[in-house]
Chain A
Amino acid sequence: AQSVAQPEDQVNVAEGNPLTVKCTYSVSGNPYLFWYVQYPNRGLQFLLKYITGDNLVKGSYGFEAEFNKSQTSFHLKKPSALVSDSALYFCAVSLPGSSNTGKLIFGQGTTLQVKP
């Protein structure tokens, strides 16, 4: 079965320190990979995506993610965390094929807590 795993329910980091939110996937073929952020009682905001090419992708708000095909991982990173980055982060994949565009399989989410 196709799945996405975010092994950490919560990540705690001090403001100014680097952060990493982990994501691994088990999907056949070459999926598209995404990160979204959700603030309380709000929809999801798109952060970044990996489709092809350079393994390090840069996105919104200073976030970046590194695609590792051999480890089937797509970890989200930021060099210096802000308190305002505190939110719920979702990793997601979209299966290849035009009929699957926009149809996402989500990980369980990781709560990021950045403390001042």
Chain B
Amino acid sequence: GAVVSQHPSRVICKSGTSVKIECRSLDFQATTMFWYRQFPKQSLMLMATSNEGSKATYEQGVEKDKFLINHASLTLSTLTVTSAHPEDSSFYICSARVRHRLEAFFGQGTRLTVV
């Protein structure tokens, strides 16, 4: 149980375009999901908390208009990187909170490359 699936695993896009990344909880309902960003050989930095049916909560320094988060159902959160630039290239990972569990469960991650 507690499987989180992230799609796509890799994406290459041109500068100025937008990219959508999906995070799904496959066998449980996730009222809260989290989006992290990871630079090469560095730690994960929390970008935002995604709450089902309400607006996401962004961490300080994260542009909410650039990183759009939608959590329209109990099993799906999406992160859209708008007007992507090469500096947005990174590894993006989502995680989900499971009811009655204190550990979070992570998706496989998405490698975004902006060219």
Q: CB within 8 Å of B: which residues of A? A: 32, 34, 36, 41-46, 49, 51, 90, 94, 101-109
Contacts and interface: CB of A to CB of B under 8 A. Distances in A.
Contact of B43 (A34, A42, A106): A106
Given A32-B102, A51-B102, A90-B43, A103 B49 contact: yes
Chain B interface residue number, banded = 20 to 34
User: Which of B34, B49, B91, B102 gathers most chain A CB within 10 Å?
Assistant: B102
B93 A44 contact: yes
Given A46-B104, A46-B106, A101-B97, 7 more contacts: A34-B103, A44-B93, A51-B102, A102-B96, A102-B97, A102-B104, A103-B49
A43 B21 CA distance: 14
A23 to B, nearest CB: 12
Contacts of B107: 43
A91 B87 CA distance: 27
Contact of B102 (A36, A42, A44, A101): A101
B106 A36 contact: yes
Contacts of B96: 102
Interface of B: 4, 6, 9, 32, 34, 41-46, 49, 91, 93, 95-98, 102-109, 111
Contacts of B111: 41
A43 B106 contact: yes
23 contacts: A34-B103, A36-B106, A41-B109, A43-B6, A43-B109, A44-B95, A46-B105, A51-B102, A90-B43, A90-B44, A94-B102, A102-B32, A102-B34, A102-B96, A102-B98, A102-B102, A103-B49, A104-B95, A104-B104, A106-B44, A106-B45, A108-B42, A109-B42
A101 B106 CA distance: 14
Nearest to A32: B102
